Amino acid sequence: MRLATLCFLIKDNQVCLAMKKRGFGVGKWNGVGGKVAEGETIVGATSREAGEEIGVRVLPEELEYKASLRFYFNEKPEW
């Protein structure tokens, strides 16, 4: 199982979405996020990914945990 993050940035009742440019879900709108690196925390990865993907600095104390999801792809076990 791969550990990854997904962050929905909300301001003034609006949600910032990004277009997925490669990999799984390419061409779809989604929140920002990605894989958690070795030795990295979920919060650290979420903050880093927001900066890398859309240039937004998200401080760890600004993040609010909402859910944990598990996805299973029987046809693509490497996912």
By three-state DSSP, how is residue 17 classified?
A: coil
pLDDT 10s digits, 34-67: 999 999 999 999 999 999 999 999 998 999 999 9
> Looking at the predicted structure, is the pLDDT value of residue 78 above 80?
no
Indicate if the pLDDT at residue 70 is higher than 90. Answer: no
Instruction: Dump pLDDT digits (tens) for 9-29.
Output: 999 999 999 999 888 789 999
Stated as kind and residue range, the H or E segment containing 14 is strand 14-16
Query: Does residue 2 have a pLDDT over 90?
Result: no
Residue 74 sits at the vertex; the CA angle it makes with 79 and 4, to the nearest 5 degrees, is 30
